[in-house]
Each structure stands twice: as structure tokens, then as C-alpha cells.
Amino acid sequence: MEQSLTVAVVSRDESVRLVAARAFDSAPRSWSVRLYEDAPEGADVVVYGPDAGAPQGAGVAFDPAHPAGVVDDVARAARRRSSTSTIVVTSASGGAGVTSLALHLAACFGGAGTCFVDLGGNWGAAARLGFERGEFATWEGADGSEDSILERALPVPGGFRVLLGSGPGPIPPSGPPAQHVPPALVWGDGPALVRAAGAAFERVVVDAAPGAWLQEVVAAAGASLLVVPPTLPGARRAAAFLEAVPDARWAVILNRTGPGGETTTSQIERALGRAVAIRLPLTPALRDAEDDGRLLTSRWSRWSRAVVRLAGAVETA
């Protein structure tokens, strides 16, 4: 059965729109193709003429000198749109174990179709994977095109790929996302990078430091995980954070990164005003692995088994 699809062709140049319209004569009959001078809302796929100023990583670029491939390009974009799953992992403040969890989630999903995107801003992902400073390509050199993203997406043990930032960036202050200053990107912003990764990969796991762009990234995500330390101060910071981003589909993950503390899950839930999805145990083996610049691959650890369960829940949500 042919996929029903709404396609918007955007250009202020009438001749470009005419060439595009002719190119879509071979499109499936189930497609609805309309011509616009400005990008509309609600289209499944937007095709941008060379004069339209497409956002980085968004839509399909149309070259009127080579129009024949646009139908295939739109079909490919539609397949990615339906299959791409973006998972955002973040916290209300640093030190909660966001990077460790995001990397191991990506390893659970695995495969060349999974990409970890480093928006943490502190070089933490590269260090955990054993990369030395300056020896790897980063997303800062990308221009937002699919080819440039694929060139910089590094294969790592675990079977997935990573788009690393150069770091170290500024450590963001605690508080709601609107109070933070986002890390600077060369060619765009956080949402643009995530969109570009989503155009190149089937699944994207984002390690996201709180920033002014976080709400937009979260709004487009299939799942958003808020990592919270199992302390009452941490829960109160997280509650304020959740109030600042009320419309997202949040799952709260308790992650114990050090010894001590007798705060129960029910106490945390009362402070948060919502249920906790899963509580990750303290795992010395994880620290040992990260000290060696590698992921924790043992499935015997309680932490690893909990992350596998979490990945399964995210995949079926």
C-alpha cells in the first residue's frame, strides 16, 4: 500500500516551482504535492528550492538543474521521518551520570543506524570512550549536510556511532533551562544538529546539557529521560526543571553515582510530584570501565541489566 504523504514545495521563484511540479509527475498518486512561497505548517516533507533558505538539517533540497531525483529524496526523507526515534537524556544540573547513561543506552540499541550526539559541552563522552583530545573529528566541522554528518560520526565499540563535541565547554549553572546559556555551534544550534543526525540515522540518543535550546530538542523527541540523583535537593531541582518544560514526555531516572544516602524512592517521588521510572544502582565496575576509556559491557552487573530494561521500555513506549 502506498504511503499517504503531504509534500510542500517552497520557492519564491515561479520557474523553480514549475520545474519541481513537473518532477513530481512521477510521484505516487497517494502524495499530495503543493507549491508555496513560504514554508507551511503541517507538511510531512518540505522541499526547499535554492532560494528558500532551508533550516540546517531540515527538509529536502531541490536542485532545479537536476530535478529527476527529488521523488526518491522525498520518499527517503519520509521513511526516515517515520522510523527515526530521538531519545534525549539530560539533568537539572551536572554530575548526575547523564553521559554514562546516554552512551550505554546507545550501546543497547546498537547497530550502525544508532548515533549518539554529544551536546554535553564538557568533553565527557570522548573521555569515556578513550579518545585523546584532538585525535578525533567533531560535529563542529560539519555544515549540517547528511554527508558531513556521516563523515564525522565515529564508529565505537558497541556497534553504534558518535558525534562528539570538542569541549571542554562551560559548565552550565543549575536551574530551569531558560536560565542557561547554550553552547555555541559553528553552523547552527542544538536542534539543527539533532535534526541533521535524525536525517542520517534511524535512532539518535542525545546527551544534552540544559540550555536555552533544550525545550525545542525535547519537544521533537520520542522520549526524554531526566536523570536525577537520589537526594531530596536533587529531586527539588528536578521538580523546578520539570515545571519549566511541562509539555515533554518525561521519564525520571534515579541514578546513584556515589556511596551514602538513605533517601527512599517514595520520598523522591513526593518531592518530584511524579513517579520514578527506574532506579539505577551504584556500580563500581562502571567507574572502572570509564577509567579505562571503555563502556561497561558485562551483562552481569545490576546497573547494566537495569539499563537494558530501560532501553526496552523506551523502545516499546
Q: Which domains does the chain have, with CATH numbers?
A: 5-81 (no CATH), 84-316 (3.40.50.300)
d(CA 263, CA 314): 26
Is 1's pLDDT higher than 50? no
Span 166-187, average pLDDT: 45
Is 207's pLDDT higher than 50? yes
Element (H, E) at 255: strand 250-255
| Residue length of the chain | 317
pLDDT digits 0-9 by tens, 281-310: 888 888 888 888 888 887 778 888 899 888
Q: Are 161 and 114 in contact (CB under 8 A)?
A: yes
| pLDDT score for 160 | 93
Is 169's pLDDT higher than 50? no
Q: Measuring CA to CA, which residue among 180, 189, 166 is closest to residue 209?
A: 180
Q: 36 has which bridge partners?
A: 10
Is 10's pLDDT higher than 70? yes
Cα dihedral 306→311→315→316 (10° resolution): 0
| pLDDT score for 316 | 61
Lowest mean pLDDT among 27-31, 51-55, 176-180: 176-180
pLDDT digits 0-9 by tens, 96-155: 899 999 999 999 988 778 999 998 767 788 889 988 777 788 888 787 788 889 999 999
Sign of CA dihedral 173, 175, 176, 179: negative
pTM of the full predicted structure? Answer: 0.70
pLDDT digits 0-9 by tens, 56-112: 556 788 999 988 889 988 887 776 665 558 999 999 987 789 999 999 999 998 877
| pLDDT score for 183 | 44
Element (H, E) at 7: strand 5-10
Q: Are 191 and 206 in contact (CB under 8 A)?
A: no
Mean pLDDT computed over every residue of the chain: 82
Element (H, E) at 88: strand 85-91
| pLDDT score for 180 | 40
Strand order in the sheet with 5-10: 31-36, 5-10, 45-48, 60-61
d(CA 194, CA 183): 14
* pLDDT > 90 in the chain, percent: 34
In this structure, the strands spanning 250-255 and 278-280 are parallel
Any idea which residue has 523546578 for its cell? Answer: 240
| pLDDT score for 278 | 92
Any idea which residue has 536551574 for its cell? Answer: 175
pLDDT band at 317 (very low <50, low <70, confident <90, very high): low
pLDDT digits 0-9 by tens, 215-245: 888 877 888 999 999 999 999 999 999 988 8
**Quick count: other Cβ atoms within 10 Å of Cβ 85?**
18
| pLDDT score for 176 | 43
pLDDT digits 0-9 by tens, 15-33: 999 999 999 998 888 899 9
157 cis-preceded (ω within 30 degrees of 0): no
DSSP secondary structure string for all residues of 258-274 = SS-----HHHHHHHHTS
| Exposure letters 40-76 (e unless 16+ CB within 10 A, then b) | eeebbbbbbbeebebbbbbbbebebeebeebbebbbe
